[in-house]
Structure 1
Amino acid sequence: MNVRVLSIQTKTKHYPVILFPSLFTTSDWLNQVQFPSRKVTIVTNSTVGPLYAQKIIKILKEKDFIPSMVTIPDGEEYKQLNTVEKIYHELLNQGLDRKGFLIALGGGVITDITGFVASTYLRGIPYFQIPTSLLAQVDSSVGGKTGVNVEEGKNLIGTFYQPDGVIIGLDFLQSLPDREFREGLSEVIKASLLKGGEFFEFFRKNISMILGQDQKTLEEVIYQSIQFKGEIVQEDEKESGVRSILNYGHTLGHAFEKTLGYGALRHGEAVAVGMIGAAMVAEKMGMISTDLVNIHQKLLVRCGLPTSFPYSVKADSFIQSLLKDKKNVSGSLRMVLLKAIGKPVYSTPVEMGLVLDILPQLVEVEP
């Protein structure tokens, strides 16, 4: 594979997304982006850090960088404000000033929380993303959304703050547990359904190759996913309009994460079932046929993703989570729905009763 570069141009920043076969067989990736100084702190977690942090630090030192590291526990349940505060204290104790920068080394939790810290520490410092999970590579590392969870819901506290560069190494994916690799495919399925056309057909026809981690196929599907998201972000950086389509499956997905508990399921799994739910809602509203619901189900099953959960939720708790969704308008539930593959509609008003009608097909509902 050759090095592939995508350019993201928003109103606030212009930055590259660079795909390498590996970040460990060469240090060329350090020459592909412009770093603001030599002082850097890597933010990682207790799972990724022991695997990769010292290798990255060694490469940085060889190029005369002065790296430090902050390690947080692994898990969505640690994506919260008290973790952010601990990172602030460590950065201050390390003496990181406004000329320094951060590198996020990890999956979606790390990229989200590092971006949030970068946007607020000393009123904003540069940061770069090195996403190590498929989900982070195709989705959360690009676009500048940062955030943390609070008791009331997921990502309700956050900022829009673009990175200064995203550096992707495909060989990170070889060490991913199977479940974590498959959850990343949920975001690829989402992107292919939203984009439609050649992207959807390429993904649908190459699922077996992707699951087998054929490098050329995997590189192409990652590239196309990022390219699609980049086009949307460039048009609508701060989600005032069309960028909302990227939340397909996330309205119900976030509610599942909140009500079932952040440790019970992975984000991509929640989005997978959220997309099935969104398709069922669209069918109930007469927007699509059962055939499109079945296409959702077949894609998810082929990728080893859930189409329902063997858990129970209380209807009232689920409704309360939905009512706190960021996309709602004046207390009215709004969802991203599909009219057809490649034809999403955002900010669609949805009656809560419709969601409650389809909910028992997705999860066991307690009265």
Structure 2
Amino acid sequence: MKQTTTPPATAQRLDIEFQVPMTHRLRFTQDVLGDQFSELLALLETSDDKPARVQFWLDETLLSARPDLKQQLRDRVAEHPQQVELASNVQVVPGGEAVKNDVHILERMLKVMNAADLDRRSYVIVIGGGAVLDAVGFAAAIAHRGIRLIRLPTTTLGQADSGVGVKNSINLFHKKNWVGTFATPWAVINDAELLETLPDRDFRAGFSEAVKVALLKETELFEFIHANAAKIQDREWSVCEPVIRRSAEWHIRHITQGGDPFEALEARPLDFGHWSAHKLEVMSNFELRHGEAVAIGLAIDVLYSKRKLGLSAERAGQVLDCLRQMGILLSHPTLLEVDTLFGGLEEFRQHLGGRLTLTMLTDVGNPLEIHEVDDAAMRDSIRELIATVSE
């Protein structure tokens, strides 16, 4: 009997590239919760002649320094009933990494958003430090698959870097930012007055991210920061304001024009110095501020770049000198736990996927991607940093 065979079915494939139109809105103000409240109102869209519904979330640390803030927000909203209304009471969450370390806080945030009947055209307005922006932003990003988020960063780090980014997250499994989303905020407002109550330690530490982006993008900016590092430590606003502004602009340009806003490719240059920074934060039980950990991470990678990639000793020295003159902590006992610290390399790789890709420097403005780390040279770089800061 003759056997017949049926040819295999032809697979059908349809691949269509597409782009999602987005707008990243950034505003710089002097007192947005006071005389310039109109700048916030201008960002809110009304629907069917009804006022925009907003839910405010406050950093508990900020509220402790400004106990009148809740009432101030209620008063401002009440002055403009046709443009904006409160969807609920003003909400408060713990400041710092505490808000990111407890998944039950995330659950509470979602319950509150649900109870207020927020929808995709409502607004979550979060006022706080980077960790609070991350956590509340994550809740807003997953509620209804995305509620409009307006960030008002209250730290120099948030205004110069994380607050203008497109990431939201919480920590899990003792790993930094393990759970999160990419979501473009509806708007970001960098307000000078909101930095007034920021403690000196946190004010200074935030400028490590400005140093980072300057090292990657602009020699002139780095040299300006280095020349004025002592004035930054003294909080001279005429110096600090243009540095924060320029850093924010560079971060937004990279996100919107760099071709990889959601980190789908191998490299993430804006995380220069961060492979060790994220690990150091966890190892120190978050005693280290993020900005301090980034400063240490930058110092380590700059010294490694000097050893392995041709960065001049003069440039490396300038970077360390700049960070120290700004008064940023460059040492911590966890640096001695080198084997544990090296675990940050694999965690960093896993976070992005694929092969390990780190950004290093051959000179200011000339980043270089590497895929392997010379273990001995990196250990020597860490030892050199420890020796340098102890002199």
Shared topology, TM-score over 0.5? yes
Deviation of the 1:282 alpha carbon: 1.4
- Name 2:164's counterpart in structure 1: 142
Q: Cα gap change, 1:53/1:342 in structure 2, threshold over 3 Å: closer, same or farther? A: farther
Equivalent in the alignment of 2:154: 132
Letter in 2 for 1:34: L
Conserved? CA contact 1:327–1:335, under 8 Å: no
What is the DSSP-based 3-state SS (H/G/I as helix, E as strand, rest coil) of the residue aligned with 2:206? helix
The number of residues matched between the two structures is 354
Q: Comparing 327-336 with 99-108, which one deviates more in the overlay?
A: 327-336
Is 1:250 equivalent to 2:280 in the alignment? no
Aligned: 1:114 with 2:136: yes
Q: 1:97 to 1:148 in 2, by over 3 A?
A: same
**Does the Cα contact within 8 Å between 2:26 and 2:189 map onto a contact in 1?**
yes
Task: Tell whether the 8 Å contact from 2:312 to 2:363 is kept in structure 1 after alignment.
Answer: no
Mark the structure with the bigger radius of gyration.
2
TM-score scaled by structure 1? 0.88
Aligned-pair CA distance for 1:287: 2.8
More strand by share: 1
Aligned to 1:273: 296
| Alignment CA distance shift 1:43-1:161 (3 Å) | same
Matches within 5 A, 1:293-332: 293-311=316-334, 314-326=337-349
Please state how far the C-alpha of 1:261 moved relative to its aligned partner. Answer: 1.2
Q: Which residue of 2 aligns with 1:92?
A: 114
CA distance in 1, matches of 2:29, 2:156: 14
The alpha-carbon deviation at position 326 of structure 1 amounts to 4.4
Q: Which of residues 64, 85, 98 in structure 2 aligns to 1:66?
A: 85
Counterpart AA for 2:27: I
Answer whether contact 1:237 1:243 (CA < 8 A) is retained.
no
Distance in 2 (alpha carbons) for counterparts of 1:54 and 1:243: 45
Q: 1:193 aligns with which of 215, 236, 241?
A: 215
1:125-173 CA distance string (max 9 Å, x none) = 1110111111101111112111111124111211110111111210122
Instruction: Give the 3 Å change call, closer, same or farther, for CA 322–98 of structure 1 in structure 2.
Output: same
- 1:349 alignment partner, SS class: coil
1:315 Cα deviation from its structure 2 partner: 3.7
Q: Which residue of 2 aligns with 1:6?
A: none
- Stretch deviating more after TM superposition (173-182 or 202-211): 202-211
Q: CA deviation at 1:313?
A: 5.1
The residue type equivalent to 1:78 in the other structure is V
2:263 to 231, 236, 239: 239
- 2:373 maps to a residue whose letter is V
Give 2:284's aligned residue.
260
Of the three residues 306, 310, 327, the one matched with 1:283 is 306
Contact kept? 1:333, 1:352, Cα under 8 Å: no
CA deviations 1:265-315 (Å, max 9, x no partner) are: 100000000001111221221331322221111001110012222446544
Question: Does the aligned pair in 1 maintain the 2:178–2:351 contact within 8 Å?
Answer: no
- Of stretches 119-128 and 10-19 in structure 1, the one that deviates more from structure 2 is 10-19
Partner SS for 2:179: strand
What is the RMSD computed on CA atoms of the aligned residues? Answer: 2.4
The code of the aligned residue for 1:66 comes to E
Structure 2 counterpart of 1:249, which letter? G
- SS where residue 196 of structure 2 aligns? helix
2:74 corresponds to = 57
